[in-house]
């Protein structure tokens, strides 16, 4: 088949960075599955709202695709570049852009996708976050892009291909063989299907092909807000934050409350509580936590940054 020639060149076309979110137990739901998916989509938008980049979201079978929208101005893109140092870009690796403005736009899109992927690691209901590349629905485009993703990676590799659209003329096995042959001929990496050092994943969808390397594990569980709302008495220890985390993974929207009964220890206890609340709020829709400090000898005083129920997902 000419389309499977490992020396072919991909046609110029769709080539965009994106983020794939793999869903877990949500896909096992019955007639109310759309309710879970809508709430998760709302939580995803809330989590990415303060990143300074636009996000296009669409739902596929068991997968949510996030595509960074073009930045409206140069300032948000610059801010995104400065905050992307710890992003999850290692999950897929970047693919080089064209000259001039096209290359700059592609680089900005790569940075935005890295930021989105890093933020999605804290969203309940997502079991795996994959930094992917979206290419045209052509076998040659998939082969060439997969070869670029493997560039510079040492060790053995494996190729896992999957067709959601069974009408695609190239079978999953044929696509995997063609990609593996080209990677071997170009870089000399050995094939190891049982325990590879890295894996190239190819997913043929209805109108495009997604490619990515090993993703990162997400939080799993159910979307926050699906199981209603709860008030958590947050102490200075570790038990209450762990209990809060476990409840949020089962869909409970937690509001945090802390009392400081000993005035002499208020400052130290508040510091520990605020540190734990800051860690917990990253897992609660990416919002700032609701917290009030109530010393025994003073009236209730709001903690710094308490916004109330901003971005409330609604009672379920």
Q: Could you tell me if 131 and 92 are in contact, meaning their C-beta atoms sit under 8 angstroms apart?
A: yes
Q: How far apart are CA 179 and CA 146, in angstroms?
A: 7
Which of 69-73, 194-198, 230-234, 248-252 is the least confident region? 69-73
Q: Which residue has the tokens 């096995």?
A: 173
User: What burial class does residue 56 get, using C-beta atoms within 10 Å of its C-beta: 0-12 exposed, 13-18 middle, 19+ buried?
Assistant: exposed
| pLDDT of 28 strictly over 50 | yes
Q: Which residue has the tokens 């003073």?
A: 298
Q: How far apart are CA 179 and CA 187, in angstroms?
A: 12
Question: Crossing angle for the helix pair 74-82 and 100-120, nearest 10 degrees?
Answer: 50
| pLDDT of 147 strictly over 80 | yes
Phi/psi of residue 203, nearest 5 degrees: -125, 115
**What is the share, in percent, of the chain residues with pLDDT greater than 90?**
32
Q: How far apart are CA 89 and CA 75, in angstroms?
A: 21
pLDDT bin (cut points 50, 70, 90) of residue 262 is: low
Over residues 53-95, the pLDDT tens digits come to 888 898 888 889 998 886 554 444 444 444 444 444 444 444 4
- pTM of the predicted protein model: 0.70
312 or 95, higher pLDDT? 95
Q: How far apart are CA 218 and CA 19, in angstroms?
A: 13
Amino acid 30: pLDDT: 87
Across 119-131, average pLDDT: 91
269 or 13, higher pLDDT? 269
**What is the share, in percent, of the chain residues with pLDDT greater than 70?**
68
Amino acid 16: pLDDT: 87
pLDDT bin (cut points 50, 70, 90) of residue 129 is: very high
Q: How far apart are CA 141 and CA 182, in angstroms?
A: 13
Q: Could you tell me if 15 and 95 are in contact, meaning their C-beta atoms sit under 8 angstroms apart?
A: yes
Question: Hey, what's the torsion of the CAs at 164, 94, 43, 245, to 10 degrees?
Answer: 100
Q: Could you tell me if 17 and 118 are in contact, meaning their C-beta atoms sit under 8 angstroms apart?
A: no
Which of 71-85, 157-171, 189-203, 298-312 is the least confident region? 298-312
CB atoms within 10 A of CB 134: 20
Across 175-188, average pLDDT: 94
């Amino acid at each position: 088949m000419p389309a499977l020639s490992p020396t072919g060149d991909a046609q110029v076309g769709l080539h965009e960075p994106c983020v794939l979110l793999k869903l877990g137990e949500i896909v096992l739901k019955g007639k109310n599955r759309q309710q879970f998916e809508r709430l998760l989509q709302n939580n995803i938008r809330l989590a990415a709202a303060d990143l300074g980049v636009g996000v296009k979201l669409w739902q596929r079978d068991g997968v949510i695709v996030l595509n960074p929208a073009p930045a409206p101005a140069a300032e948000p893109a610059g801010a995104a570049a400065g905050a992307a140092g710890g992003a999850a870009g290692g999950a897929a690796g970047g693919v080089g852009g064209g000259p001039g403005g096209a290359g700059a736009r592609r680089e900005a899109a790569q940075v935005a996708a890295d930021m989105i992927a890093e933020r999605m690691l804290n969203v309940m209901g997502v079991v795996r976050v994959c930094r992917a590349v979206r290419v045209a629905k052509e076998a040659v485009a998939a082969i060439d892009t997969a070869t670029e993703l493997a560039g510079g990676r040492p060790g053995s590799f494996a190729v896992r291909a999957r067709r959601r659209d069974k009408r695609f003329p190239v079978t999953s096995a044929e696509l995997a063989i063609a990609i593996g042959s080209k990677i071997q001929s170009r870089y000399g990496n050995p094939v190891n299907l049982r325990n590879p050092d890295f894996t190239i994943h190819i997913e043929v969808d209805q109108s495009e092909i997604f490619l990515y390397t090993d993703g990162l594990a997400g939080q799993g569980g159910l979307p926050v807000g699906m199981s209603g709302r709860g008030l958590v008495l947050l102490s200075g220890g570790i038990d209450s934050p762990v209990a809060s985390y476990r409840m949020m993974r089962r869909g409970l929207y937690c509001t945090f409350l802390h009392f400081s009964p000993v005035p002499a220890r208020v400052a130290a206890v508040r510091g520990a509580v605020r540190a734990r609340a800051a860690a917990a709020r990253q897992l609660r829709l990416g919002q700032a936590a609701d917290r009030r400090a109530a010393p025994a000898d003073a009236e209730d005083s709001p903690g710094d940054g308490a916004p109330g129920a901003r971005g409330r997902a609604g009672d379920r």
